[in-house]
Structure 1
Amino acid sequence: MRASPWLMSLAIATGLGACQPAQPDATVAAPAAQQTPPAPVAADADERRYHFQCGDLAVQATYHGQDAATVVVGERTLAMVPAEAASGAKYADAQGNTFWTKGTTDGTLALKGEPERRCTGTGEAGPTPMPAADAAVTDVGFRATGNEPGWLAEVAAGATPQLRVETDYGQRTFAIDNPTQGKDGWSGKAADGTEVKLSFQRTVCQDDMSGKAFGTTAMLTVGARQYHGCGDFAGAPALAARP
């Protein structure tokens, strides 16, 4: 039986079609273009830091935009929020402390229980916060601090020695002129009659918060209450922090 020429042509066409290379599926999506990684978030450019001299106190104020301010007064760090003021920028905290400035050259510091101090701006600070030691009184012969609650005691060296004390995070302050000096410390009576004594032992002491090591162990007695901490004499070599 002879094959139909039409059938033979169809068979050849079919075979040739089967030998053609496969065409890409038009429905397959092309590879996605490489995405550019997001730019890093910039640091807060609206944070400004200034130094002030408020009476006998060196103060550093860091303004976080217009929403908050951190005011460092000696060993105290006060977190403040904006307060109503007729002019200038005024900040306050829940303890009743306020810091009010007009520009960067003039201001007022009011610490609870203390007279207001007039402030003079001494310049814009750099990016690194001012160490607390830089804010301390420079004529200190001995200095001791402690935590929970925070306290500070300084013995001023000079023609008229003075024992200065702050307790309970600065809520109470005492000043004793010409304190009695013994072999292990100083003692005296504050203006309100409170007995105050600062004593020390020459043993290495480690601050329980910062880990910093000091050359003496200190104890402060105010009335019937005792506070424990660490201290050093002015000019004493720094000790390495212990793990």
Structure 2
Amino acid sequence: MTASVTSLRFVAAVAAGFLLAGCAASATAPQQSVTTTVQSGAPLLPSALFPGSAERFQAWNCQPANQDLVTAVNGEELRLWSLHGAWRLPQAVVASGARYQEGEISFWNRGEQAQIETPRGQLQCQQGIHRDIATRASHPGVMFLARGNEPGWSIELANDTPVMTWTTAYGSETTTMPYMVSVMDNEAGRVVIENANAEEFFRVRIESGACFDDMSGEPYPARVTLTIGGEQYKGCGQGIAP
């Protein structure tokens, strides 16, 4: 399954304390809600949930805002996730290091340090933990993977049919369930899926944005909330391209 490619512009502002803000176009774009019957094939998820051809996710801690970011180098493009969403910055010419820029926004990486420049100021960032990208080779047939802790759980969305596999109790219990898409907002990188069988309600909310495993600290490009059986589980996830 190949994610649809949408152009995400990094038109942002830094809020008080130099916080990296969300994309203005995304904030004003109307939400595209889709109420549908069960699809015959798996849906195309927003490209903001995917790393592209990158080999790893890199975490950064930035000051003075004290916020964490996630990046992935995808050819000559940097994919960047903050708490407010996801953006793409094309590579720019620079004398040293690697610089990526879109308009007045830039990310300049030199070794374990990086600097983000915006119209309202700068963020100085220190490289943190990194994580290898989950691939189709290691997760055959999976389009999207998410997981969380305490208790350990994971979900996998199949790449060919609208089916979710939920594993809980640290891998000892597995259930496969059909789903339908109730919200698909490509601009914001947001998806909501719900059960296609009303006998057991569940809802999964997927939102693009920097996410970190609450035990290992490993970086991900999406925040995931699963509601099932009267319980709510929170974790991180990523899209898996072929």
TM-score normalised by structure 2 residue count = 0.38
Structure with higher RCO (Cα < 8 A, 6+ apart): 2
Provide the TM-score with structure 1 as the length reference.
0.38
